[in-house]
Amino acid sequence: MEVQAQLGMLPGWELKGCTITRLYKFNDFMQAIAFVNRVSQLAEAADHHPDMDIRYSKVRLTLSTHAAEGLTQKDFDLALQIDRA
């Protein structure tokens, strides 16, 4: 898996060490929470759960595969699903 090629298909996502991360900005807290709820459903269905940092109207998601101690295709697949939500 070529990380840079995968990131090229995911605008807004950044490589941070052995994770990928993206900051989403919303108009208010309730929109941010609605987004987190959608992401939670996608993550549960994929059995792959991002780290989430909620700061009022901003949500930062961080993906990695802990069992692999780095990035796997599951991370990029979930990131793409999140972006489509």
> How far is the C-alpha of 26 from the C-alpha of 83, rounded, in Å?
14
* Superfamily for the 3-84 domain: Transcriptional coactivator/pterin dehydratase (3.30.1360.20)
Confidence of residue 1 (pLDDT cuts 50, 70, 90): low
The whole-angstrom separation of Cα 37 and Cα 72 is: 24
Q: What are the phi and psi torsion angles at 32 (to 5°)?
A: -65, -45
User: For the whole model, what pTM was predicted?
Assistant: 0.91
Domain ranges, ordered by start, for the chain: 3-84
pLDDT tens digit string along 28-78? 999 999 999 999 999 999 999 999 999 999 999 999 998 787 899 999 999
